[in-house]
């Protein structure tokens, strides 16, 4: 069965610190897709990144970077030089296309960046 | 702004009642997904429609139903409401019916059942 675990419930950092949000997933299939979404205090879910299981290249987008390691079933997200506007709940999610297109979300990590 | 719209933003109703939540996908997107976000269950996939047809079903209760219309907007109907149905309901859309494509979420409808 599919499962996504975000063990860090809450993280608090001071502005300009780097922070890594962990995501560990479980699936029996070789083809799957991983996602990160941001949910700021306003409530909407904002798409950040999609990664397919065949592409293990790390990705960097500005201050954001993602580290995908199939060997450890992890898809971690790092924010460099964090800012107050990064404060949000971050969700990691998994879709197994052979399992009903059911997007499974982790429980989320609440990040608070203090000035 | 994701381009996905949902109405209403807030809804307060009583137990036993029925409500309808509405979603308009991004222009060009054929798939619509519905999710429920509650404190105890987290974010849960309910149902997916693709080009008017039901494509996938998740943890959707029998009291809940959805449809997608020819203009691609979708409605989620919740009936015989219970206190536990209070949650944030999200609609998302994607260009394809395949799960590999990213989903863009609307702002959500916050349902409070009293």
| Bridge-based pairing state of the strands A24-26 and A59-61 | unpaired
Kindly state the DSSP code that residue B114 receives in the 8-state scheme: -
What are A53-92's pLDDT values in tens digits? Answer: 988 888 888 999 999 999 999 999 999 999 999 999 999 9
Report CB contact under 8 Å: A91, B90. no
Read off the pLDDT band of A98 (50, 70, 90). Answer: confident
Token look-up 């029996």 returns A28
Report CB contact under 8 Å: B45, A104. yes
Q: Taking residues B50-64, what's their average pLDDT?
A: 92
User: Is B43 touching A (CB cutoff 8 A)?
Assistant: yes
Averaged confidence pLDDT in chain A:
93
- From chain A, pick out residues whose CB is under 8 angstroms from the CB of B5: none
Which residue in A44, A95, A108 is closest to B100 by CB distance? Answer: A95
Instruction: Answer yes or no: is pLDDT of A101 > 80.
Output: no
Averaged confidence pLDDT in chain B:
94
C-alpha pair distances (Å), B60 with each of A26, A102, A104, B46, B56: 23, 12, 14, 5, 11
Kindly state the DSSP code that residue B25 receives in the 8-state scheme: P
Which residue in A47, A101, A103 is closest to B104 by CB distance? Answer: A47
C-alpha pair distances (Å), B6 with each of A46, B75, B100, B106, B108: 15, 10, 23, 6, 6
The 3-state secondary structure of chain A, one letter per residue: CCEEECCCCEEEEECCCCEEECCEEECCCCCCEEEEEEECCCCCCEEEEEEECCCCCCEEECCEEEEEEHHHCEEEEEECCCCHHHCEEEEEEEECCCCCCCEEECCCEEEEEEC
In the three-class reduction of DSSP (H, G, I as helix; E, B as strand; rest coil), residue B108 is classed as coil
pLDDT at B99: 67
Distance from CA of A46 to the nearest CA of B (A): 7
Read off the pLDDT band of A105 (50, 70, 90). Answer: very high
* Chain A interface test: which of B41, B45, B88 (most A C-beta within 10 Å): B45
User: Is B49 touching A (CB cutoff 8 A)?
Assistant: no
Instruction: Answer yes or no: is pLDDT of A99 > 70.
Output: no
Q: Which residue of B has its CA nearest to A38?
A: B105
Phi, psi of A8 (to 5 degrees): -85, 110
Instruction: Answer yes or no: is pLDDT of B17 > 90.
Output: yes
């Amino acid at each position: 069965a599919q499962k996504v675990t975000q063990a860090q419930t809450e993280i608090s950092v001071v502005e300009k610190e780097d922070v890594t949000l962990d995501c560990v997933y479980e699936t029996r299939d070789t083809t799957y897709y991983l996602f990160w979404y941001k949910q700021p205090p306003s409530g909407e879910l904002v798409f950040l990144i999609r990664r397919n299981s065949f592409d293990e290249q790390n990705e960097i987008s500005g201050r954001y970077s993602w580290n995908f390691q199939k060997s450890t079933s992890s898809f971690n997200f790092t924010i460099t030089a964090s800012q107050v506007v990064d404060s949000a709940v971050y969700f990691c999610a998994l879709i197994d296309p052979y399992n009903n297109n059911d997007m499974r979300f982790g429980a989320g990590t609440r990040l608070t960046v203090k000035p | 702004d994701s381009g996905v719209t949902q109405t209403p933003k807030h809804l307060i109703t009583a137990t036993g009642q029925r409500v309808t939540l509405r979603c308009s996908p991004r222009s060009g997107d054929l798939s619509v997904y519905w999710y429920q976000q509650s404190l105890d269950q987290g974010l849960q996939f309910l149902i997916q429609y693709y080009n008017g047809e039901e494509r996938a079903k998740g943890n959707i209760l029998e009291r809940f139903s959805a449809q997608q219309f020819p203009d691609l907007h979708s409605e989620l109907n919740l009936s015989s409401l219970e206190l536990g149905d209070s949650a944030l309901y999200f609609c998302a859309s994607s260009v394809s019916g395949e799960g590999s494509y990213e989903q863009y979420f609307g702002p959500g409808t916050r349902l409070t059942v009293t």
